[in-house]
Amino acid sequence: MAGDTLKVYGNAARNTAQGLIDIAIEAAATNNPHLKAASPIIKEKTELPRFEYQSEMYNRDITGKVNKDGITLGKVAETAVELSAPVIGGKVSTAVKTPETLQSLGALPNAKVRQTANAVENIISDPILAKSDDIASKPVQTIKNKFPDEPMPTAVTDKAKIIGVAEIVEGKIKVNGQLPRYVDFVVDIDGKLILGNKHHLLGNANDVQAAGRMKINNGKVAEINNLSGHYQPSVEEAMKFPEILRKLGLDLNRTHFRVFAFESTPSGNLNGFPTAVHREFLK
């Protein structure tokens, strides 16, 4: 998987480190003897970080593997548990816990706290990861909201709804709640994929990287386009949507991609109907 379709950059690495800390905290909280003794150590600083866990209980290594679903700790014995921590694409949480925070939580002994914190700092300061972090977090493009000063639409008068921020799991979309077949979407500047109804609300009136509609079937993105009256992505901007969405981890294989051209009046309103100018099934 490494070097192939894996999309783990600096943000993911940070999340991974965060996940390791969380596991350690959970281990401490649950008093699991197998995990209490484990702490993460950076074994290899690469774009696709690998981790080694030292288990004092078993006196052997546990290899942590990073993939798009998270990190998975291999089983070390029948009694050991298998854990995973989510690696969420897009903007990383910057709430990396400091040694002081960890200590205040009573999560780990001092030595382990320091070791864990060092691991996190190593990831963050690693030049390779920092570089890839730039790639991951830098917006591909900025599409302006054509009507930023308009009042925010409401559920009652404008039928506006936010369904949620998508979590990408194995290339598919997951949200807390129900997903209809067709939704409006935006990818904001921070790389969050937000689903619902009414782009002005989804983008919070701000600029975005992508805006349009999606057809979603069983979590798989079946269709995307650039139909958004508030953002009116140009054909050139729309052609970058697959790149933007793939960067989030979405599987767009066989996705029907359609691009519309907008003709606007000087006031920004659409002059007539958007015209379909491009369509393809993505590979």
Partner 1 sequence: MILEENLSQSIYNAYINEGVGKDFFAKFAAEVAEVNAIEFLVANFKTFDDKYNLELMLCLPQIWDSFQIDDWLELMKTVGSRANQIKSFEFNGEFIDVQFLCKYLEIDGLDLCLNYSQISLEDKQIVLEYAKANVFDFVKNTLDYQDLDTEYEDLNNEIDKNYYAIDLKRLKEIKYNLLSDTRAKEFPTVEEAAVDYVNEIYRHKQYLQISR
User: Residues 76, 82, 86, 92: is their CA dihedral positive or negative?
Assistant: negative
Considering only 107, 163, 211, 245, the residue that binds partner 1 (CB under 8 A) is: 163
**Residue 42 CB, nearest distance to partner 1 (Å)?**
37
Considering only 41, 45, 84, 147, the residue that binds partner 1 (CB under 8 A) is: 147
**Residue 217 CB, nearest distance to partner 1 (Å)?**
5
Q: What is the footprint of partner 1 within residues 245-264 (CB under 8 A)?
A: 254, 256, 258
In whole angstroms, give the CA distance from residue 139 to residue 187: 10
Q: What is the footprint of partner 1 within residues 2-21 (CB under 8 A)?
A: none
Beta-strand pair 50-55/220-225: unpaired
**Residue 146 CB, nearest distance to partner 1 (Å)?**
7
In whole angstroms, give the CA distance from residue 251 to residue 48: 20
**Residue 178 CB, nearest distance to partner 1 (Å)?**
5
Considering only 179, 186, 244, 245, the residue that binds partner 1 (CB under 8 A) is: 179
Determine, following the binding rule CB under 8 A, whether residue 152 of this chain makes contact with partner 1. Answer: no
Q: What is the footprint of partner 1 within residues 199-238 (CB under 8 A)?
A: 199-200, 213, 215, 217-218, 220, 222-223, 227, 229-230, 232
Closer to partner 1 by CB, 2 or 152: give it.
152
Answer yes or no: are the C-beta atoms of 130 and 122 closer than 8 Å: no
**Residue 177 CB, nearest distance to partner 1 (Å)?**
7
Closer to partner 1 by CB, 113 or 179: give it.
179
Answer yes or no: are the C-beta atoms of 132 and 66 closer than 8 Å: no
Contacts of 210 (CB under 8 A, 6+ apart): 143, 185, 186, 187, 226, 233, 237, 238, 240, 241, 244, 245
Query: What strands lie across the sheet with 84-85, from one edge to the other?
Result: 40-44, 50-55, 60-67, 70-73, 84-85
Report the run of H or E that residue 112 belongs to, with start and end.
helix 110-125
Determine, following the binding rule CB under 8 A, whether residue 166 of this chain makes contact with partner 1. Answer: no
Q: Which residue has the tokens 């694409």?
A: 89
Q: What angle do CA 207, 181, 67 make, to 5 degrees?
A: 70
Measure Cα distances from 62 to 112, 117, 173 in Å: 16, 19, 31
**Residue 270 CB, nearest distance to partner 1 (Å)?**
5
**Residue 148 CB, nearest distance to partner 1 (Å)?**
12
In whole angstroms, give the CA distance from residue 179 to residue 216: 8
Total number of residues that touch partner 1 (CB under 8 A): 45
Chain residues that interact with partner 1, rule: CB under 8 A: 146-147, 150, 153, 158-159, 161, 163, 177-184, 197-200, 213, 215, 217-218, 220, 222-223, 227, 229-230, 232, 254, 256, 258, 268-276, 279, 281
